[in-house]
Structure 1
Amino acid sequence: MLRPKRCGGGKQEVMAPEIDLVIHDGHVVTPDGVIEGDIAIAGGRIISVGKPVSGGARRISARGKLVMPGGVDPHAHIEQMSGMGQWNADTFETAARSAAMGGTTSVISFAAQASGQSLADTVEDYAKRAARGAMIDYAFHITVTDVSVAGFDRDLETLIRTGHRSLKVFTTYNIQLDDRALLDVLTKARRHGALVCVHAENDAIISQARDALIASGQISPRDHARARPRMAEIEAVERMCRFAEYLDQPVMLFHISTSEGAAAIRTARKRGAPVWAETCPHYLFMTEDVLVKPGLEGAKWMCSPPQRRPADQEALWAALLDGTLSLVSSDHAPYRFDETGKLSAGPDAGFHQIANGLPGLETRLPLMFDAIVSRGRGGPEAFARLTSESPARLYGLERKGALAERMDADIVIWNPEKTVTYGADDLHDNVGYNPWEGTTVTGWPERVFLRGQCLVEDGAFHGQPGSGRWIDRPVLATRPRGMASEVEAR
């Protein structure tokens, strides 16, 4: 049972005629704990938290509800072409609608460089798409796949300096960088002040396992997990931890799925390596058995890395609660289960011909609320930290992720008692199926506000295409510690 601290007793009441919105009588989840009190909003910002507030153009009672910061999802693929040459299902408009309906108000998606494309052109292309359709606030990770293009160093420095403070690299797929290129990108990121995010799997291990399975005719979706052995993640995670340590360059390791991967990160952090890591709901709540379905049905749940075993789930939860893993993202990678998406190679496709990924923008927060708040795996403060505060802080979203004065008024009112069972196709994206069909969650985002403006109320979405704003990130919390790296010492 929640026992919020009372706030406001003996404090001066806030009375300002310019107040646009007051949310009152709720249990407000702040970085300092859960308090009882009011939140006042003016000009899209929070101007007071906890103090009693009079007046306001609009007043909303949150009695019996939890008032949370809007979700920050730092890992989503939106209006992006895959390495297999397929566009994913969502535009910025459909993805933003889905995100908001699930309580997320800020997203970091990818500006993915195509072969031969300059970084400047890459970001310009994605910025145009987002400006046209986004209905929540957004930033980009610049996905680096071709370091040989003309002007690469100049563009990288300029983009980082102008607020694009995170990069993404791969150690697998046909867009991977070799070790020398990885070290060079890490060095440049350190020089200019960017975080490097890594999809860390060993490509040689994967290709050997995949080719052996194909040769033996074992190509159904259920074979996908064996095609990406856990050792592929373990080796690449350990290698990237060492690279980060060697150069004293901050690294964020994406979508950790194994107990060994989490253990390697814990060990590296104890050594002082500047390493952070995330996991995703499909690793916390699904196992590889989800791929075992008739025909190609299991393709709906194919993702990379694949889901693992129950023991891995427990290890990931332990790593979240002890701080080894810093946050939970969705890794939203939406493909329809038809010829435009996962079945584009036909009804007899093998796992190696099926796009990897599943939708998650809309379901991330309800799934995590149910587990952390309703089922007691940490409480409301832990939920806010893992899904809003930590991603905002680590990625430099300075006015996002927390309920405090001068922050953007990105606010979600949660009904902790409402129970919902997901259906077959009840999400608001463009995917056409819900991978969590049949899952029941307790706790639901009933009202969602972006910069004080109502996005979701009474189950209806009120956003307008193009109303989302790009989030400038002038600095990062994940700065190098200042000690000389081995390279510089030479």
Structure 2
Amino acid sequence: MLDTIIKNGLIVTESGVLPEGQSIGISDGKISVIGYDIPEGLGTEVIDAQGAYITPGGVDSHVHLAQRNAPTGDNWEAGTRSAVAGGTTTVLAFASQTKEMTSLFPVLEDYHEKSRGQTYCDYGFHFVLTNPNESILRDELPILAKEEGITSVKLYMTYELYKLSDRQLLETMLACRSLGLTTMIHAENGDMIDFLIQGLERNENTAPFFHAIAGPKIAEDEASYRAIRLAELVDAPVLLVHVSSDGAMKHIRDAQTRLLPIHAETCPHYLFLLSEKLANEEHDHFHGAKGICSPPLRHHPEDLEALWRGIANDTFTVFSSDHAPTKYDHPQGKKAGIINGIPRFSKIPKGIPGIETRLSLLFSESEGCLPKDQARLSLARFVQLTAGNPARLYGLTAKGAILPGYDADLVIWHPKNEGERVISQTALHHSVDYTPFEGMPVKNWPRLTILRGEIVWNADENRVTGVKGFGKFIKRSTGRVLVGKLGGLPAGMNEGERDLWKPKS
């Protein structure tokens, strides 16, 4: 007995679009069957996809919700409401340790308390490690992975309150490698950036645009190369997050060519926006603060094109939003960067909203909306980047694919030529007061978002139809290495050398 049948759609998988005429049968929140002429039962709900594409529900593996350092940002309710309205059915957000914390268990309980019963979509946590002491690496991470299903950590190479030394990076990579945890790295050279900030401020160059000058591509390129070399030393798979530069991408591509397990992520703002946005004075001298994020937006159209090549040629493993918003018109939001009436870019909270617009922006550049010779990516690649790869990389075993046995998390798009819209803050569902993509046209938008068989967004009714609290916490398994392989040796290292210095298990 099926609860729901979705018919008249074009089902998209990582292998391509399935032959026309097949339907999806759903029961108990799971996909039960895919095939032709699926029989209806008494009370089976039938959803007509009207000839539109059906893709897996989006998995956004890099979002910031209810963060201590963003008091005006999205909480779990607003962020996940915005997610489902944009076709995302699972998010992974960050439970952040601070330097003085010597245990992760209080961090976990605090973040559970903030999210419990608040979400419109399914969710999980990454840990941000800022004080990876021996007890955490040896005793706590194994328990948290096995019992709590938190199987990923994020490490920083910049920001005084977050950054780790190279020694700490090595020790943490090695511990995570032994447990099968996914290690994410924010790769920017913090000393370079601090040096440039001091020089810019000394010369009174403090307007929002100078944020792009303070974080040049070379700072990301150097740190990315260093992170890859550190990971190579200890034979650890890593993911470099929010990659924004062609130089960093080249280091990643070179490593992947040598079969190193180096994964990469990029985000919508690095494909669509340039640093000129930070100089926008359309409304006032501070308006460019709406585009401040890290790494910063880059200067030239060629920078965007380079990253689009990384989308097309498989350099990038995942495509995430890095949704890290704060309100613009608020003294604790972006306007915290106005000190005594003077804009100071270094005090402006970093991060921009993007959880709701992520899928539509990328789908608009795919073969789902454009002729094959004009599209920047195939539909199969779209599914891989936005659902399949993040699900596998982060151990979401029931997510990211349209297959029997998987959660019935689906996006039904509009039929061709019916889903066009212009992105507008007034139509979005987050709690912040702007979108950096204001006025940008997209060629399609999710018509229906389905989470575990339930319609949670209905564009026909122009409303979120899901309820707060329907989303559930997902305990994850260990992730998979999707790029390269383990076991390689750096140049000049003999077989067995690692055994001479690795900790005994």
Question: Could you say whether these structures have the same fold, taking a TM-score greater than 0.5 normalized by the shorter chain as the test?
Answer: yes
In the TM superposition, what are the counterparts of 1:153-232 in structure 2 within 5 Å? 153-162=138-147, 163-174=149-160, 175-232=162-219
TM-align CA RMSD: 1.6
The answer as to 2:296 corresponding to 1:306 is yes
Unaligned segments of structure 2, at least 5 residues: 489-494
CA contact (8 A) 2:182 2:478 kept: no
Structure 1 SS opposite 2:168: helix
Q: Higher mean Cα deviation, 101-110 or 338-347?
A: 338-347
Of residues 48, 71, 74, the one that matches 1:87 is 71
Q: How far is 1:114 from its partner?
A: 2.0
CA contact (8 A) 2:52 2:413 kept: yes
2:492 match: none
Which amino acid in structure 1 is aligned with residue 471 of structure 2?
A: G
Of residues 118, 124, 132, the one that matches 1:139 is 124
Q: Higher mean Cα deviation, 310-319 or 206-215?
A: 310-319
The answer as to 2:352 corresponding to 1:366 is no
Q: Higher mean Cα deviation, 298-307 or 388-397?
A: 388-397
2:499 match: 488
Of residues 328, 335, 340, the one that matches 2:332 is 340
CA distance in 2: counterparts of 1:389 and 1:160, whole angstroms: 21
1:321 match: 312
In the TM superposition, what are the counterparts of 1:21-420 in structure 2 within 5 Å? 21-35=4-18, 36=20, 37-56=22-41, 57-82=44-69, 86-117=70-101, 118-148=103-133, 153-162=138-147, 163-174=149-160, 175-294=162-281, 295-308=285-298, 309-337=300-328, 338-346=330-338, 347-372=341-366, 373-375=368-370, 376-415=375-414, 416-417=416-417, 418-420=419-421
1:265-294 deviation per Cα after TM superposition (whole angstroms, max 9, x unaligned): 000111122110010010001111111122
In the TM superposition, what are the counterparts of 1:9-20 in structure 2 within 5 Å? 18-20=1-3
Runs of 4+ in 1 over 6 A off after TM superposition: none
Q: Higher mean Cα deviation, 319-328 or 294-303?
A: 319-328
Which amino acid in structure 1 is aligned with residue 432 of structure 2?
A: V
CA distance in 1: counterparts of 2:240 and 2:291, whole angstroms: 22
1:54-74 deviation per Cα after TM superposition (whole angstroms, max 9, x unaligned): 114200111221111000000
Q: How far is 1:463 from its partner?
A: 2.0
Unaligned segments of structure 1, at least 5 residues: 1-17
CA distance in 1: counterparts of 2:135 and 2:179, whole angstroms: 19
1:3-38 deviation per Cα after TM superposition (whole angstroms, max 9, x unaligned): xxxxxxxxxxxxxxx200000011011233212210
CA contact (8 A) 2:270 2:304 kept: yes
The answer as to 2:440 corresponding to 1:433 is no
Residues 327 and 245 of structure 1, relative CA distance in 2, 3 Å threshold: same
Of residues 470, 473, 493, the one that matches 1:470 is 473
Q: How far is 1:486 from its partner?
A: 4.7
CA distance in 1: counterparts of 2:89 and 2:317, whole angstroms: 19
Residues 486 and 447 of structure 1, relative CA distance in 2, 3 Å threshold: farther
Residues 88 and 140 of structure 1, relative CA distance in 2, 3 Å threshold: farther
Aligned length: 470
Q: How far is 1:354 from its partner?
A: 0.2
- Give the TM-score taking structure 2 as reference length: 0.90
CA distance in 2: counterparts of 1:482 and 1:452, whole angstroms: 41
CA distance in 2: counterparts of 1:345 and 1:310, whole angstroms: 28
Structure 2 SS opposite 1:53: coil
1:383-437 deviation per Cα after TM superposition (whole angstroms, max 9, x unaligned): 1111111111111111111101101000110014211012243310011112111
1:128-171 deviation per Cα after TM superposition (whole angstroms, max 9, x unaligned): 22213111011111100112486553112211223211100000
CA distance in 1: counterparts of 2:127 and 2:302, whole angstroms: 34
